[in-house]
Each structure stands twice: as structure tokens, then as C-alpha cells.
């Protein structure tokens, strides 16, 4: 089981905002926006945690101090979806884009949430909160955002933060209050050579065995392609 804390922070709510997930000092990530809400930061933190662990089969235990996020995923989201993403009163669901992305990210995953009270000294929660607030503060002060190493468990030791799966993710524009986030994660900016990576076949062979040593960037692209195809990375490699 993977145990990780996820937290968000907003200075002004709305205001400069940050998100972070944290496993340990060697495995964490953070990001944010010039203007967003605390709830958006909380949602983004959980979303990025699921994205960072998409290539794993382990159960994910998410420690979260936001009952809004926990209830969104475990109680409300299915009903909103059935109602065309409307609440019980018929009003649109707030933060819809983020929630829809989270709805897609949890498909096929084994996970559970555990609520922890914030700001009472819980080690993992405090570490996530500290990093989320640092990201928000960086946006407030217009300084580089401490984005963290990303997911490092099982990743090659020479992987840099920029090349790690789910390295720093942020939006390119301010986020209107409680209307969602244009999270950038699905852009395909591969070169033509990269686009053909793994697109090979030998029509004369009954079976092809290939051993490939991947860079972290190539692994990340493979995971993204598997997710887009609706299969696990393991299945996409086997097929």
C-alpha cells in the first residue's frame, strides 16, 4: 500500500494558491496558480497524486484534511455524474473540470481516503501543507515554485525533477473562483521521432520480443499513452 498526504493552500481564497502531495522527503510534488481557491488546491493535490501513481498496481491510501474532497470522491461525484454534473438543487457543480479529471483518474484504481485533522502535528499532513503553502507563497512573491522531485519510487536514480513522472504541473492562467482549473497534463508535444516510439511491428514475425531501456521521459509518455488507450501500462507493454 502507498500512503501519501495531499493538501492545498490559498493565500486569500481566492488568491495565490498551491497544491502538494507527499510520501516522504524524497518523493513529493507541488505546484499551483497565481489565483485559485483552497478547494481547487485540495482537489488538484489528490488528482496529481493519482496521476503520479497511475503506473502502479498498489492500493493508495490518501490522507486528506479536506472533507470536501473526500465527500466529493466517495459520496457526491457518482450522483452528480448521473444528474449530468448537476447538484441536487439543479445548480452546476463547482470546480467541474477538476472533478471530471479526478473522476477519470480513479477508474480502475484501488484506493481509500482517511480524514486527518489539519494543523495538529500529523507528520505527513504537515509536510504536504508546508509544500502547498510554499508553492502558493512562491506565486504570491513571483518566485520559482519548489515543485519537488515528483514520483521517485522505482525511478532511475539519474532522473531529474523535470523528467520525473508527474513533475511540476501548473496552469498557464488565473483560475476563476470555484469554476474549475485548466490543468495541463494532456498536451502531446512529442517530436515526430518521439511520436513513433513503440509504434513498430514486424508483419513477417509470429512473435516479437524486445527489451527496451527507457528514460524517465519515455516511461512517462508510455504511461500517458496507455492511459489514453484505456489500458494499464503493463497491458500496453504486453500487447
Residue 119 annotated to the active site: yes
pTM beyond 0.85, yes or no:
no
Q: What is the predicted pLDDT for the residue at 7?
A: 98
Shared-domain flag, residues 102 and 26: yes
Q: What is the predicted pLDDT for the residue at 217?
A: 57
* Sign of the CA dihedral running 224, 165, 95, 22: positive
Shared-domain flag, residues 203 and 142: no
Shared-domain flag, residues 110 and 205: no
Residue 179, in any domain of the structure: no
Residue 58 annotated to the active site: no
Contact 94, 69 (CB under 8 A): no
Per the structure, the complete domain to which residue 217 belongs is given by 192-238
What are 66-79's pLDDT values in tens digits?
999 999 999 999 99
Q: What is the predicted pLDDT for the residue at 179?
A: 37
Q: What is the predicted pLDDT for the residue at 120?
A: 82
Residue 69, in any domain of the structure: yes
Residue 8 annotated to the active site: yes
Residue 186, in any domain of the structure: no
C-alpha cell at 154: 522505482
Shared-domain flag, residues 234 and 139: no
Shared-domain flag, residues 110 and 23: yes
Q: What is the predicted pLDDT for the residue at 50?
A: 98
3-state secondary structure the chain: CEEEEEEEEECCCCEEEEEEEEEECCEEEEEEEEEECHHHHHHHHHHHHHHHCCCCCCCEEEEECCHHHHHHHHHHHHHHHHCCCECCCCCECCCHHHHHHHHHHCCCCCEEEEECCCCCCCHHHHHHHHHHHHHHHHHHCCCCCCCCCECCCCCCCCCCHHHCCCCCCCCCCCCCCCCCCCCCCCCCCCCHHHHCCCCCCCCCCCCCCCCCCCCHHHHHHHHHHHHHHCCCHHHHHHC
Listed residues 117, 146, 163: the one ending a domain: 163
- Pick the catalytic residue from 41, 55, 65, 150: 65
Domain count, the chain: 2
Strand 60-64 and strand 2-10: pairing?
A: parallel
Residue 85, in any domain of the structure: yes
Shared-domain flag, residues 66 and 22: yes
Q: What is the predicted pLDDT for the residue at 154?
A: 76
Residue 65 annotated to the active site: yes
Q: What is the predicted pLDDT for the residue at 121?
A: 85
Shared-domain flag, residues 199 and 89: no
Residue 171, in any domain of the structure: no
Q: What is the predicted pLDDT for the residue at 173?
A: 33
Shared-domain flag, residues 12 and 61: yes
Residue 109, in any domain of the structure: yes
- Ranges of the chain whose pLDDT falls below 70: 155-239
Shared-domain flag, residues 139 and 196: no
Shared-domain flag, residues 116 and 47: yes
Q: What is the predicted pLDDT for the residue at 155?
A: 58
Q: Report the DSSP beta bridge partners of residue 19.
A: 8, 31
**Omega prior to 221 cis, within 30 of 0:** no
Listed residues 163, 182, 209: the one ending a domain: 163
- Residue given cell 509504434 in the structure block: 199
Q: What is the predicted pLDDT for the residue at 224?
A: 64
- Pick the catalytic residue from 18, 32, 42, 170: 42
Largest CA distance in the chain: 64
Shared-domain flag, residues 53 and 108: yes
Q: What is the predicted pLDDT for the residue at 119?
A: 80
Residue 177, in any domain of the structure: no
Measured CA to CA, the distance from residue 239 to residue 234 in angstroms comes to: 9
Q: What is the predicted pLDDT for the residue at 216?
A: 56
CATH number at residue 81: 3.30.420.10
Shared-domain flag, residues 159 and 199: no
In terms of Cβ atoms closer than 10 Å to its own Cβ (0-12, 13-18, 19+), residue 29 is buried
Contact 70, 12 (CB under 8 A): no
Residue 180, in any domain of the structure: no
Residue 202 annotated to the active site: no
- Pick the catalytic residue from 25, 84, 90, 119: 119
Measured CA to CA, the distance from residue 109 to residue 130 in angstroms comes to: 27
Residue 224 annotated to the active site: no
- Pick the catalytic residue from 48, 101, 129, 170: 129
Amino acid at each position: 500500500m502507498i500512503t501519501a498526504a495531499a493538501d492545498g493552500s490559498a493565500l486569500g481564497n481566492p488568491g495565490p494558491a498551491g497544491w502538494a502531495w507527499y510520501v516522504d522527503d524524497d518523493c513529493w510534488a507541488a505546484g499551483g496558480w497565481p489565483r485559485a481557491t483552497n478547494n481547487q488546491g485540495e482537489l488538484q493535490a489528490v488528482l496529481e497524486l493519482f496521476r503520479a501513481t497511475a503506473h502502479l498496481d498498489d492500493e493508495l491510501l490518501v490522507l486528506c484534511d479536506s472533507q470536501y474532497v473526500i465527500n466529493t470522491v466517495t459520496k457526491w461525484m457518482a450522483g452528480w455524474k448521473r444528474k449530468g454534473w448537476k447538484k441536487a438543487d439543479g445548480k452546476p457543480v463547482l470546480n467541474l473540470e477538476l472533478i471530471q479529471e479526478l473522476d477519470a483518474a480513479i477508474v480502475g484504481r484501488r484506493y481509500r481516503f482517511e480524514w486527518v485533522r489539519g494543523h495538529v502535528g500529523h507528520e505527513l499532513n504537515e509536510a504536504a501543507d508546508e509544500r502547498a503553502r510554499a508553492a502558493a507563497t512562491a506565486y504570491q512573491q513571483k518566485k520559482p515554485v519548489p515543485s519537488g522531485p515528483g514520483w521517485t519510487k522505482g525511478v532511475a536514480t539519474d532522473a531529474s525533477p523535470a523528467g520525473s513522472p508527474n513533475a511540476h504541473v501548473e496552469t498557464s492562467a488565473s483560475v476563476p473562483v470555484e469554476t474549475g482549473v485548466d490543468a495541463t497534463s494532456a498536451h502531446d508535444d512529442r517530436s515526430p521521432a518521439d511520436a513513433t516510439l513503440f509504434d513498430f511491428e514486424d508483419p513477417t514475425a509470429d512473435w516479437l520480443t524486445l527489451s527496451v531501456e527507457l528514460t524517465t521521459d519515455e516511461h512517462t509518455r508510455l504511461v500517458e499513452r496507455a492511459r489514453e488507450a484505456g489500458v494499464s501500462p503493463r497491458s500496453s507493454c504486453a500487447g
